[in-house]
Chains A and B, each alone.
Chain A
Amino acid sequence: MAEKNISVTLKVWRQASADKPGKFETYKVKDVSTGSSFLEMLDILNEELQKEGKEPFAFDNDCREGICGMCSLVINGVPHGPGRGITTCQLHMRSFKDGDVIVVEPWRASAFPVIRDCVVNRDAFDRIIQAGGFTNINAGSAQDANAIPIGKADADAAMDAAACIGCGACVAACKNASAMLFVSAKVTHLARLPQGQVEKRKRVLAMVAQMDKEGFGNCTNQYECQAACPKEISVDCIAKMNREYLSATVVEPA
């Protein structure tokens, strides 16, 4: 596809720190190639801002290839912007037209407080993982790859769930800022495999307890999370977690 240059107007959320009120600022970015990524466009904006002696716009990013989960941004009301199954760093300017107004906001959730501009604090996810998103296995020398047979259906479902990069778009998309998709992806990934099954009950109880403590909302089964997820994690995971949580509550001795 032939690339061309377009100019866009950005309305971006600026906030100096968590305890200061924020507001939208409007900037124009001129002559940006449709072949550049959305984040490269923001880099161009920041160069301009710095030239003008202004504070650059803060946004999260790291790998810029859709694997680390650092980038965020709600773009025109959609976490990770238009396009299904991609992260913000995989979004390109060819998704926009010359003259477009693009509104850029941070993930909005009480459990994800703003640190600066569109950078939010996602430590809550780390604490949920610390509560049980792992297996306790004595790591000796690696055993034979075929020593533990795992059915294809389970292996596939575990792999699909393991694709979650912990970005938090699911929370950002949900009207209740619920973290059910993220947490259930981790629960499903481990509960589907024999290594994870040993601790599955303790794990689901501990992870859900931590999720609730962090102040995420309750799921109302609208499935916006699934539609917004860059890794297309399915709400099948949420159903599995609901099931696992109920049975763990009934069966687990304490």
Chain B
Amino acid sequence: MSWIFKYVNSSIGKKQLMAVTGGCLLGFLLVHFVGNCTLLIPDEAARAEAFNKVADTYASLKFLLYVAEAGLVVLFGVHIVNALRTWRENRAARAAGYEVQTRVGDKSLPSFVMIYTGTFLLAWLVLHILTFKFGKGVFADIIPHDGQITLYDVVSFWFSQSWYAAIYVIAMLCLGFHLWHGVGSVFQTLGLRHPKYTPIIEFCGKCYAALIGGGNAIIVITCFLREACK
């Protein structure tokens, strides 16, 4: 068993745990994003129906939903714990800094701010879950659009609040940043590098980051403007 401890405490092991958990979260994000796209349907009744149908489909999974939620908690937990461990160690490894530091590589800004975009996402995640999962009519008076309060009503209400929508848009920019570096990084960390495929993977990773970050942000802005222009 000691080999497991050795692995999870090694520098490469920690990074690979982050890569695998981050990679699984990428899959989850894509499914989540596809569901969110129903919010772009122009006709209100059809939009509400489609969105609620997605929500109901998840709810109908019952026991499986709990398993999936527990899985997500573990993925986030392992990712975050190892992110904090490596971040602390990395700061200690360069205790004294440079007077002048000139970057010679070609890595972009997102790769330098992973811990900050990640931390903002964590804070946002708390808000997201409080309001959308546990907050049905708890934190605010939500007017149902027909009869009973549905998840669609909750979402429309919160996205009509400018401060709330603003936090979301910032969070989605953070997500786009995080994934801009993160997706390609997963493959490198797991050793999946090849002269033919790596450039394709890097390119697709950036497209994915732009799609998920930008796409979700557009959905939030659309919902906000729709309510604001009513």
In the complex with contacts A208-B11, A215-B92, A224-B97 CB distance below 8 A: no
Q: Does B35 contact A (CB under 8 A)?
A: no
Kindly specify which of A41-49, A64-72, A241-249 makes contact with the partner chain: A241-249
For the residues of A in contact with B, the DSSP-based class is mixed
- Nearest chain B CB to A67's CB is how many angstroms away? 22
Chain B: CB-nearest residue to A13: B99
A103 to B13 Cα, complex, angstroms = 37
A242 to B185 Cα, complex, angstroms = 12
B12, A208: Cβ atoms under 8 Å?
yes
B188, A77: Cβ atoms under 8 Å?
no
Q: Which of A105, A211, A241 contacts B98 (CB 8 A)?
A: A105
Query: Given the complex, which residues of B lie within 8 Å of A223, measured CB to CB?
Result: 105-107
Interface residues of A, count at CB 8 A = 52
A137 to B143 Cα, complex, angstroms = 79
A176, B191: Cβ atoms under 8 Å?
no
Query: Given the complex, which residues of B lie within 8 Å of A227, measured CB to CB?
Result: 104-106
A217, B94: Cβ atoms under 8 Å?
yes
In the complex with contacts A208-B11, A220-B111, A221-B185, A76-B94 CB distance below 8 A: no
In the complex with contacts A218-B90, A222-B107, A239-B98 CB distance below 8 A: no
A245, B94: Cβ atoms under 8 Å?
no
Q: Mark B5-16, 1 if CB is under 8 A from A, else 0.
A: 011001111111
Interface, chain A (partner B; CB < 8 A):
11, 13, 24, 74, 76-78, 84, 103, 105, 108-111, 173, 175-178, 180, 205, 208-209, 211-212, 215-224, 226-228, 235-236, 238-246, 249, 252, 254
Interface, chain B (partner A; CB < 8 A):
3, 6-7, 10-16, 86, 89-90, 92-107, 111-112, 114, 181, 184-185, 188-193
